[in-house]
Structure 1
Amino acid sequence: MDSYEKLSYVSITPHAEFLRNFVANTICHSCKTSQRKRCINMADDHNLCSECYKTAVFSIERLPYIVHNLRKFYRQFNLKVDKNIPIFLTDKVEMRKEFDDKTTHSMTVYAKKSTTLVIKNCLWQGEKMEAVKEPKKLSKISILLRFGYPDVITGARLAHEMMNVWLGNKGCMDIQQNIKEGICKVMAYKWLDWYFCNYVDSSSDNGRLGLRYIQIYKPEIESNRAFRGAKMAVDKYGLKHTLKHIVNTRNLPDVNQATALVKIMNEPNEINTVLLAQEEMVEQRTSRKMGLIFS
């Protein structure tokens, strides 16, 4: 018998269960505030405060809503990602089996028929929340996400991996890792802006928490060198043309010497005009909204 079948589950609300099992005077690994809070210790060895706990993704039932929003986000750039790609939640242990990197929170697995353990749901066992796992056979392309993180953060990581999948579908499996990571991080960054404009209500507690996540994770992305190189190209030429250049040349457009790409951009094209206008609108809305909040 699977040891998880022996777990007892007390039928009370999840938040009440949190309050019964919290550990005091701990720093939350999601909102990362310097203020020590009452947190639970996850089975995945990260601490989660009561605020982050309310929006954290513990089971696959929470994924469809996030995926739906991600597809809306991608559609604004006329980018389509295969709807049938399996997306699984997993933990640090299983993630390291697939990719030996302690900092990895999401990944895309290609051409692997092996079986991995994914998160089915979570139950309380004493003072810890334990993940109930089940074996799943990974298909040709699968996305793995670390469980137990708030939906905003999970969405940003999924935006990253969806660009990874998009590049793979365009035959760009062989591009340099820094180019791939850079453009994927650009999409995660753009997702945070898009989410802020569409879903963050600064007058509510959840809205302020969502803003907190964005304030934390955008600087983390900005500190990455690969991201900065990709963002310079996207800022100069737009996302559409940057992606087209990557697909055609396996490289980023040169932000200093790209006369051919500039010529293409200057050609009248209704789709190009619409896409660039959409990108500028999102950036302008974000700037105005941030100004209102912090003025």
Structure 2
Amino acid sequence: MGWLSKIFKGSSHNVSEGQYDWRYSANSNENYPSTSQDAWSDTEDIDRAIAISLSEENKKGKHVIADESQLEEDEQLARALQESLNFDSLPENGNRNGNYVDPNFSCGRICAGCNVEIGHGRFLSCMGSIWHPECFRCHACHQPIADYEFSMSGNYPYHKFCYKEHYHPKCDVCNHFIPTNAAGLIEYRAHPFWAQKYCPKHEHDRTSRCCSCERMEPQDTKYVALDDGRSLCLECLDSAIMDTDQCQPLYLDIREFYESLNMKVEQQVPLLLVERQALNEAMDGEKSGHHHMPETRGLCLSEEQTISTVLRRPRIGAGNRAMDMRTEPYKLTRRCEVTAILILYGLPRLLTGSILAHEMMHAWMRLSGYRTLSPDVEEGICQVLAHMWLESQRASAEQSNQRTSSPFDKKLGEFFKHQIESDTSPVYGNGFRAGNQAVLKYGLQRTLDHIRFTGTFPY
């Protein structure tokens, strides 16, 4: 439902001063710091560079020197570098030619790391600045970068490994770095609400997904396997309603919610928790009604049927499997326009309640004599009531100083509201948005009156 496919193209930070055209991909372009040891380790190369520089000065008519002082400074720096290199390997106060080398001589450049003047010895020239080797440090681990290659993000250098640890996404299922695709880019899937990132392969390798929150099962966590093939994460299991008796207090809560809206349900409609197979069979036996795909989790029945209901909750056995669940047949007889409300067992209280609030609205309209409505209007106003109930639960939790619900329950409630709000189906999604807009503009009672007389939402 609404999965996102994303291409990760690396850090959003801009590269410093436009010096590097850097992108994160399978074959990242790396930056190479130059050192006095690496770049000018050969004294003959330095002599040649000085000679060329001096000869260029004497060539007239070929080049225009824009800044003679800069040229002079560069020549001085080159000579100083040669003397510095010679000094490293020479006896104190002497060089190869027996000339005295001033130990206090400095090239006059300031280290970009410590802001101290660069003296004799090795140094790095990179990122448009000069550095002591020990001052050129990784922005992540703060250790000197001794490798020839390094990565950059914004104005900060990183060890290649540190950059990967900080910016290369890991899969939330297998905990490995998400691999690159054929184009050399990092491609992953992401849940639109939970922001769970995972490798595309996990959509096809039989990785379980929670039937409630829809998160993929991490390989270091074991979901509970229900008897009807569904999986339930451990957080959703904490508040899951597993049998019909356990659901009765919630059923009374929903009825009171409707009474608070001046919409009392006069008939005592049976509420049954069922397995997936029983719900699908009941759905096939129902002659009318629109069902949410790919899976229906609740049903308001108006036909006489025999339903297998969950009488005793299962226990969680070896391998996190639900075991020893007890069911019994329940004969439904038609005494009014509604024979029963069926809800999938094993869903958290908030999800079970929102489904029940939705199905209760179907029952209320049938018992109140509403005409046959178009699917988008009927399902849309039912989704509005489910959304209103979830919002009432959030407000109630805040009023009770958040003592009765866990942080995950609050997040789960927001997720179920998000599911209703972002549903892309023409019937449930567009129907909810049209119905919710009408209720916000005219109020619930005026909207219901308009639906009763016209069969449409007021605009």
Q: Same fold (TM over 0.5)?
A: yes
Relative distance call for 1:205 and 1:87 in structure 2 (3 A) is closer
Contact 1:107-1:145 within 8 A present in 2 as well? yes
Deviation of 1:75 after TM superposition, in Å, equals 2.0
Question: What corresponds to 1:4 in structure 2?
Answer: none
Q: 1:213 aligns with which of 407, 412, 428?
A: 412
Q: 2:431 aligns with which of 215, 226, 231?
A: 226
Contact 2:240-2:348 within 8 A present in 1 as well? yes
Q: 2:211 aligns with which of 25, 29, 35?
A: 29
Relative distance call for 1:176 and 1:27 in structure 2 (3 A) is closer
Could you tell me how far apart the structure 2 residues matched to 1:31 and 1:176 are? 30
Question: What corresponds to 1:118 in structure 2?
Answer: 309
Could you tell me how far apart the structure 2 residues matched to 1:97 and 1:245 are? 35
Could you tell me how far apart the structure 2 residues matched to 1:238 and 1:65 are? 29
Residue-by-residue CA offset, 1:166-210 (whole Å, 9 max, x unaligned) = 110122251111110000000000011001111366856943122
Relative distance call for 1:83 and 1:56 in structure 2 (3 A) is farther
Question: What corresponds to 1:129 in structure 2?
Answer: 322
Relative distance call for 1:27 and 1:96 in structure 2 (3 A) is closer
Contact 1:94-1:117 within 8 A present in 2 as well? yes
Q: 2:369 aligns with which of 132, 146, 171?
A: 171
Question: What corresponds to 2:278 in structure 1?
Answer: 94
Question: What corresponds to 1:251 in structure 2?
Answer: 456
Could you tell me how far apart the structure 1 residues matched to 2:371 and 2:408 are? 37
Question: What corresponds to 2:356 in structure 1?
Answer: 158
Q: 2:301 aligns with which of 90, 109, 113?
A: 109
Relative distance call for 1:239 and 1:194 in structure 2 (3 A) is same
Please identify, of 207-216 and 179-188, the stretch whose mean Cα deviation from structure 2 is larger: 207-216
Deviation of 1:35 after TM superposition, in Å, equals 6.7
Relative distance call for 1:35 and 1:146 in structure 2 (3 A) is closer
Code of the residue aligned with 2:372 in structure 1: it is D
Contact 1:183-1:231 within 8 A present in 2 as well? yes
Unaligned runs of 5+ in 1: 1-24, 256-295
Q: 3-state DSSP class of the match of 1:99?
A: helix
Code of the residue aligned with 1:29 in structure 2: it is C
Could you tell me how far apart the structure 2 residues matched to 1:76 and 1:203 are? 22
Question: What corresponds to 2:171 in structure 1?
Answer: none
Contact 2:384-2:432 within 8 A present in 1 as well? yes
Code of the residue aligned with 1:97 in structure 2: it is E
Question: What corresponds to 2:445 in structure 1?
Answer: 240
Relative distance call for 1:159 and 1:232 in structure 2 (3 A) is same
Q: 3-state DSSP class of the match of 1:38?
A: coil
Unaligned runs of 5+ in 2: 1-206, 285-292, 423-428
Could you tell me how far apart the structure 1 residues matched to 2:352 and 2:257 are? 14
Contact 1:56-1:150 within 8 A present in 2 as well? yes
Could you tell me how far apart the structure 2 residues matched to 1:211 and 1:33 are? 16
Q: 3-state DSSP class of the match of 2:327?
A: strand
Equivalence map 1:197-208=2 (5 Å): 197-199=395-397, 206-208=405-407
Question: What corresponds to 2:143 in structure 1?
Answer: none
Contact 2:245-2:311 within 8 A present in 1 as well? no
TM-score by length of 1: 0.71
Deviation of 1:114 after TM superposition, in Å, equals 1.8
Question: What corresponds to 2:391 in structure 1?
Answer: 193
Residue-by-residue CA offset, 1:35-71 (whole Å, 9 max, x unaligned) = 7233111112221122221211111221121012212
Q: 3-state DSSP class of the match of 2:242?
A: coil
Contact 1:39-1:49 within 8 A present in 2 as well? yes
Relative distance call for 1:102 and 1:249 in structure 2 (3 A) is same
Could you tell me how far apart the structure 1 residues matched to 2:309 and 2:371 are? 25
Relative distance call for 1:35 and 1:92 in structure 2 (3 A) is closer
1:59 aligns with 2:243: yes
Contact 1:86-1:139 within 8 A present in 2 as well? no
Could you tell me how far apart the structure 2 residues matched to 1:34 and 1:92 are? 20
Identity of aligned residues (%): 28
TM-score by length of 2: 0.47
Code of the residue aligned with 1:129 in structure 2: it is A
Could you tell me how far apart the structure 2 residues matched to 1:137 and 1:208 are? 40
Deviation of 1:126 after TM superposition, in Å, equals 5.0
Could you tell me how far apart the structure 1 residues matched to 2:266 and 2:318 are? 41
Could you tell me how far apart the structure 1 residues matched to 2:393 and 2:312 are? 26
Deviation of 1:232 after TM superposition, in Å, equals 1.1
Code of the residue aligned with 1:214 in structure 2: it is G
Which structure's CA Rg is the greater one?
Answer: 2
Residue-by-residue CA offset, 1:209-242 (whole Å, 9 max, x unaligned) = 2212122111211121111111111111100110
Deviation of 1:156 after TM superposition, in Å, equals 0.4
Structure having the larger proportion of residues in helix: 1
Deviation of 1:122 after TM superposition, in Å, equals 2.8
